[in-house]
């Protein structure tokens, strides 16, 4: 493939070499909705199986060396963290972001760190700090925080008091973190709370992160936005405020749909990545951003969906790296709206798949990761080895 004349192919390949994407352990397990759960043959049920599946994604894409873990789902036993590190290393992986769980226990029905019951707030904070300790055990540099806390009805709770409780809890957790750990504060406009969510948008997350301490940043989940939201503007603002810490990649038609990235609005993904690449072009250095996937597929095969997302991410950051920044600058300087948009559209419209196929061949990877995985027979083998799944009548996440 012939790249645009302004492209520095060596720099492009070098940036792709540094573009790593973390996959989530829960993305390889059976998950569900509030209405039910559809089981898949061979879906992982243990952390060992999840790591094995994640290793396959890394084997064929070459850019997914770490796996995010969920404390309660992945470490039911005290020895779990240490065993996980050894198992991951055997597979050429490492443990990535540690995700606490303060939303499944019955005591969190009316909130965790914002619960009116001081004992429950204390219990939640203790779990968050225990998760920090687990992160230190597994060598993780990221504590990823999402809270289901919120209310369903006007008058249910004191919103300002809950804000103060949240800030206090995050400050305590930040103080407990080692110096090389970063706290990522995620936000979500609704669900499971439907009247108000205690961290509902990027501005609230940014305020909380700044109050927590210097090693706290905002985590942007691309599915956690209301319809029509300009996510790339949020990304640009957070970059400029030095508060963008990471992403949870997925896609959505309506809200938190957990669809494969780029399956609904690939141009939006390009625009988001363009803001990152533009900032890196301006500063001459990579931004310190954790690129992570957060998808729980009920219908698509788990590993195949993960490979789809990773390949899509590679394609779209490549497109973003093809933007002619000098031409874009000149168009902006002359208020040439049509040309400015055309510069972006030309990069987005470029078919980068042949280039990426050659890029992978040069790194001894399969040129088409998804086809190579399908031909490997791995999915069929593990389905036979792991046996049939027992149907369950209850809904909810695994």
Q: What are phi and psi of 142, to 5 degrees?
A: -130, 130
Q: Nearest CA to 380 among 295, 311, 303? A: 303
Q: Nearest CA to 304 among 16, 21, 53, 25? A: 53
Separation of alpha carbons 323 and 344, rounded Å: 6
Structure letter (DSSP) for residue 22? B
Q: 385: part of which helix (H) or strand (E)? A: helix 378-386
221: tokens are 């989940």
CA–CA distances in Å: residue 177 to residues 128, 135, 221, 233, 289: 10, 9, 23, 30, 19
Separation of alpha carbons 42 and 386, rounded Å: 6
pLDDT of residue 80: 83
Structure letter (DSSP) for residue 212? H
pLDDT of residue 178: 98
DSSP output for 320-359: HHT--HHHHHHHHHTT-HHHHHHHHHHHHHS--HHHHHHH
pLDDT of residue 398: 35
Residues in the chain, total = 398
Angle at 94 (CA atoms; ends 397, 321), nearest 5 degrees:
90
Cβ-count burial 170-190 (b if 16+ within 10 Å, e if not):
bebbbebbeeebbbbbbbbbb
Q: Nearest CA to 249 among 81, 47, 9, 20? A: 20
| Neighbour tally for 363: CB within 10 Å | 12
Separation of alpha carbons 206 and 220, rounded Å: 11
Separation of alpha carbons 274 and 231, rounded Å: 12
Separation of alpha carbons 235 and 239, rounded Å: 6
How do the pLDDT tens digits run along the chain, 398 residues long? 789 999 999 999 999 999 999 999 999 999 877 777 889 999 999 999 999 999 999 999 999 999 999 999 999 876 789 999 999 999 999 999 999 999 999 999 999 999 999 999 999 999 999 999 999 999 999 999 999 999 999 999 999 999 999 999 999 999 999 999 999 999 999 999 999 999 999 999 999 999 999 999 999 999 999 999 999 999 999 999 999 999 999 999 998 999 999 999 999 999 999 999 999 999 999 999 999 999 988 899 999 999 999 999 999 999 999 999 999 999 999 999 999 999 999 999 999 999 999 999 999 999 999 999 999 999 999 999 998 766 543 333 33
CA–CA distances in Å: residue 279 to residues 107, 143, 235, 285: 44, 25, 11, 9
The alpha carbons of the chain give a radius of gyration, in whole angstroms, of: 21
Q: 372: part of which helix (H) or strand (E)? A: helix 369-376
Sketch out the chain's domains with CATH numbers. 12-318 (3.20.20.150)
* DSSP bridge pairs for 353: none
**Burial label, 214 (beta-carbon count in 10 A; 0-12, 13-18, 19+):** exposed
* DSSP bridge pairs for 165: none
| 173 touches 143 (CB < 8 A) | yes
pLDDT of residue 390: 65
Using DSSP's 3-state secondary structure scheme, residue 319 falls into: helix
157: tokens are 């709770």
Q: What are phi and psi of 288, to 5 degrees?
A: -85, 85
* DSSP bridge pairs for 246: 219, 290
Kindly report the pTM of this predicted structure. 0.95
Residues in CB range of 160: below 8 A, 6 or more apart = none
In the Cβ-directed half-sphere of 41, how many Cα atoms lie within 13 Å? 9
Q: What are phi and psi of 94, to 5 degrees?
A: -135, 160
Pairing between strand 196-197 and 150-151? antiparallel
């Amino acid at each position: 493939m012939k790249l645009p004349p302004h492209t520095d192919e060596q720099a492009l390949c070098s940036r792709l070499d540094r573009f790593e994407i973390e996959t989530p352990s829960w993305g390889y397990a059976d998950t569900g909705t509030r209405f039910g759960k559809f089981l898949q043959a061979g879906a992982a049920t243990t952390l060992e199986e999840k790591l094995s599946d994640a290793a396959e994604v890394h084997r064929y894409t070459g850019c997914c060396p770490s796996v995010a873990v969920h404390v309660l789902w992945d470490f039911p036993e005290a020895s779990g963290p240490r065993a996980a590190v050894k198992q991951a290393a055997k597979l050429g992986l490492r443990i990535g972001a540690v995700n606490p769980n303060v939303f499944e226990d019955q005591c969190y029905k009316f909130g965790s760190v914002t619960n009116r019951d001081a004992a429950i707030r204390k219990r939640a904070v203790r779990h968050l700090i225990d998760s920090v300790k687990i992160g230190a055990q597994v060598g993780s540099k990221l504590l990823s925080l999402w809270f289901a806390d919120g209310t369903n009805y006007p008058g249910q709770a004191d919103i300002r008091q809950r804000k103060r409780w949240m800030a206090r809890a995050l400050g305590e957790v930040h103080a407990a973190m080692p110096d090389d750990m970063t706290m990522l504060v995620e936000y979500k406009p609704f669900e499971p709370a439907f009247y108000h969510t205690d961290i509902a948008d990027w501005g609230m997350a940014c305020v909380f992160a700044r109050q927590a301490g210097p090693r706290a940043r905002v985590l942007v989940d691309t599915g956690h936005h209301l319809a029509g939201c300009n996510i790339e503007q949020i990304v640009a603002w957070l970059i400029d405020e030095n508060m963008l810490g990471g992403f949870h990649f997925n896609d959505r038609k309506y809200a938190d749909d957990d669809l494969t990235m780029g399956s609904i609005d690939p141009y939006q993904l390009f625009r988001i990545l363009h803001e990152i690449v533009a900032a890196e072009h301006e500063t001459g250095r990579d931004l310190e951003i954790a690129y992570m996937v957060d998808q729980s597929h009920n219908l698509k095969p788990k590993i195949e969906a993960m490979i789809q997302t990773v390949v899509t991410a590679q394609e779209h950051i490549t497109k973003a790296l093809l933007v002619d920044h000098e031409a874009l600058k000149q168009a902006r300087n002359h208020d040439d709206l049509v040309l400015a948009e055309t510069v972006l559209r030309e990069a987005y419209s470029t078919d980068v798949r042949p280039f990426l196929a050659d890029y992978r061949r040069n790194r001894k990877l399969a040129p088409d990761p998804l086809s190579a995985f399908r031909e490997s027979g791995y999915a069929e083998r593990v389905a036979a080895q792991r046996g049939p799944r027992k149907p369950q009548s209850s809904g909810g996440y695994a």
